[in-house]
């Protein structure tokens, strides 16, 4: 089975800090995604990547950036954390961005910005 | 109009009951469809894909009606362990040879002893 690992389960950061959320997958998937999930708002796509060094904005990229230097690793960066970025962050990967395939998610990072 | 719309529930049903969830999607070009299950404070996990001909996996049956842009999930003989949020997910072509998943906000199911 594909394993998607997120580096931290829970994280508390201060307003203004630069925050790195790491995600690693072990099945050589081309495609990786970062979502945030908030009550009543569902899953919202922040950024995704089709390949190394490639990135595409999702629906809510403001305040975030990403890095994909290696195929297995996709990092989400909060340049200057704010309280409205308190959320559950979910990383996902998929073998093909093709119609038959769903995504495999990591277990999530619950980030609190104080 | 929301891209993928679901009744948020909660659906509170007794053990052994049959329960059905519905979902509508707005993009007629959507190509494939899934149901995901998400337990409280956990990540979403793929439950099943949804095919035009309908498909069944044990107590779970998924149906797709492309003409009405409607997807359903039927759970028979509900178990306590079925309590979760069920996400309707649609895969739509997003250009440059790639597809993207769009998630509904989920329907919460509580199975009561």
What is the helix (H) or strand (E) element at residue B84, kind and residue range?
A: strand B84-95
CB–CB of A102 and B31 under 8 A?
A: no
Q: Which two tokens stand for residue B113?
A: 């002893």
Q: What is the chain A residue with the closest CA to B48?
A: A102
pLDDT at residue A100, as a whole number: 60
pLDDT at residue A96, as a whole number: 66
CB–CB of A99 and B44 under 8 A?
A: no
- Residues of chain A under the 70 pLDDT cut: 1-2, 96-101
Q: What percent of chain B clears pLDDT 90, i.e. is strictly above it?
A: 74
CA–CA distance, A44 with A60 (Å, rounded to integer): 7
Contact status of B72 with chain A (Cβ, < 8 Å): no
Contact status of B87 with chain A (Cβ, < 8 Å): yes
Range B10-32 average pLDDT? 93
pLDDT at residue A95, as a whole number: 77
pLDDT at residue A94, as a whole number: 86
What is the helix (H) or strand (E) element at residue A13, kind and residue range?
A: strand A10-13
Tens digits of residue pLDDT in B51-105: 888 899 999 999 999 999 999 999 999 999 999 999 999 987 766 666 778 899 9
Q: Which residues from B are below 8 Å from A90, CB to CB?
A: 43-44
Q: Which residues from B are below 8 Å from A103, CB to CB?
A: 46, 101
Q: How many CB atoms lie within 10 A of CB B29?
A: 6
pLDDT at residue A37, as a whole number: 96
Q: Does the pLDDT value for residue B3 go beyond 80?
A: yes
pLDDT at residue A97, as a whole number: 55
pLDDT at residue B80, as a whole number: 97
Determine whether B91 is exposed, middle or buried from the number of CB atoms within 10 Å of its CB (0-12, 13-18, 19+).
buried
């Amino acid at each position: 089975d594909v394993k998607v690992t997120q580096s931290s389960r829970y994280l508390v950061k201060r307003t203004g800090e630069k925050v790195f959320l790491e995600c690693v997958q072990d099945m050589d998937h081309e495609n990786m995604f970062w979502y945030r999930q908030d009550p009543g708002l569902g899953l919202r796509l922040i950024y995704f990547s089709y390949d190394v060094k490639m990135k595409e904005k999702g629906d809510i990229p403001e305040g975030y950036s990403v890095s994909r230097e290696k195929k297995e690793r996709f990092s989400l960066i909060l340049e200057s954390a704010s309280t409205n970025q308190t959320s559950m962050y979910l990383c996902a990967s998929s073998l093909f961005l093709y119609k038959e395939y769903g995504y495999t998610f990591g277990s999530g990072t619950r980030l609190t910005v104080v | 109009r929301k891209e993928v719309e679901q009744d948020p529930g909660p659906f509170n049903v007794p053990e052994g009951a049959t329960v059905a969830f519905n979902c509508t999607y707005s993009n007629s070009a959507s190509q494939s469809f899934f149901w995901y299950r998400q337990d409280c404070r956990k990540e979403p996990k793929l439950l099943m894909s949804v095919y035009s001909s309908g498909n069944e996996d044990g107590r779970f049956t998924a149906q797709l009606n492309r003409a009405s842009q409607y997807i359903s999930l039927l759970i028979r003989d509900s178990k306590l362990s079925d309590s979760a949020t069920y996400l309707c997910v649609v895969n739509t072509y997003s250009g440059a040879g790639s597809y993207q998943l769009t998630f509904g906000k989920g329907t919460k199911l509580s199975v009561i002893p």
